[in-house]
Each structure stands twice: as C-alpha cells, then as structure tokens.
Amino acid sequence: MTRSRLPLRLGVIALMILSIQMSGCSLFVMAGKFLMGDPVAESQFKQRTGVDLRKDKKKVVVVCSVPEMLRQENASIDHDLVESIVRRFRVRDIETIPPRDVDRWLSSLGGVWNSPQEIAQKFEANYIIHVDLESVTYREPNSPNMYRGNCLGNVYVYEIRGEKKDKNAFLVFQHEFSSTYPQLHPVSVDQSSMRSFQEKYITRVSDELARLFYDFKMTEEVY
C-alpha cells in the first residue's frame, strides 16, 4: 500500500469504528468484514464431529420433546420448533425427513417415542437431531405486563449405523443451550399479543438451534 493511500484507509477505518460504536454493532466483526471479507463461523456440530451435513450429503430427522406443562401455554410448541428448524435446513440444502412424516408416525404411537433406536428403525436417515426442551417462559419475572423469552434445554444428535433391522443410534453430539430474548429490554404487553410474541420467540430459538449445524456468516442477522 502506498503512503498516499494509507491515511485514506486509516481514515475510513476510524469512521467505521465511530459508526460501530454509535450503532452498537460488533467492532471486530465489522472491522474483520471490511479488511478480510465477511468472516464465516464454523458450526459447532462440524467442529466436534468433522461432519458437514450439507457437503457430506447427510439426511437428518428432527424431533422435539417438551414437558407437558409447556403445552398449556403453547400447545404446538414442539411442532412449530421442528418446522422452523427444518425450513432453515432446507434453505441450506441439508436434506431432512419431512416433519409431516414424523408427525404421522408419532400420532400412531400416541405422540410418545421411547428411544432413538425406534426412530433409527423407522426412518432412512443418517442422523437424529433431538431437541429436548426443559423450560420455556415468555414473561419477565415479577413483571406480568412485560414479555421476555427464556428457554433452557439440550440438543442430542445420534448417528444411525447399520442396515435394516440391525440399525442402531449412537450419541455423537450433545449441546446444552439457553436463550434469552430480547437481551436488553423486555417487550410491553401493549406492543404485542402473547401469541405473536410466542411465535417470534420460537422462531428466534429455532434460528439459534439450527445454526449449530451449518456454517454462517458472522454478520447474518438472527431473527
């Protein structure tokens, strides 16, 4: 770089830093994008297993389990979460078993499956992604007129090995997760209905969970 262009580049970076500080964006992400392009975060699943679900052409089946008490506030929470995760996988060209096929099978069992071995036997897939929600709340503690989503749970991934009746499921990935939204300030009940806030928060959680399984640009917005 010539000396004549160096002050210009430094000036641009200075303006960029000021803009970032004013907007609250990540300094390192934005500066990194300016200097080296938009950085990509490698998925945790790939980091820990060495498997890229898209590039390695692996098919997954996604299931979700929730305590019965959670259904009192949102009866379709497990279905909505699975559908939202699967939509994100399809955008990323990760092959999935259709949720309707899983729903149909679960209905035949009364809505309850007992072990990942059952899923391995039923579906032609390479991996089972099991989202196990422990708790989900939508209201700010001690503030009934404010919404803030909080979620705790675990993600278990089983690799399906073997053929036909000899297929088995082996745990290869486990991740404990927590989610809070919005981070800074709760949402007043005057600004949103409970149902609308629930839908938005479950969409947010599904986005966070889906990102465990594919690479993404650091500047991509989490919805």
Could you tell me the CATH number of the domain that includes residue 160? 3.40.50
222, part of any domain: no
Does residue 175 contact residue 44 with C-beta atoms inside 8 Å? yes
Which position has the higher pLDDT, 74 or 208? 208
C-alpha span between 144 and 159 (Å, rounded): 43
- Residue 182, preceding peptide bond in cis (omega within 30° of 0): yes
pLDDT at 36: 55
71, part of any domain: yes
Query: Are residues 110 and 86 part of one domain?
Result: yes
What global pTM score does this model have? 0.81
C-alpha span between 152 and 137 (Å, rounded): 9
pLDDT, average across residues 21-39: 53
Which residue range forms the structural domain that includes residue 17?
1-37
Distances (CA, A) of 63 to 10, 22, 145, 223: 50, 42, 33, 22
Query: Are residues 49 and 107 part of one domain?
Result: yes
Q: How does DSSP classify residue 123?
A: S
Positive or negative, the CA dihedral 140, 187, 73, 155 is negative
Q: How does DSSP classify residue 43?
A: P
Query: Are residues 31 and 71 part of one domain?
Result: no
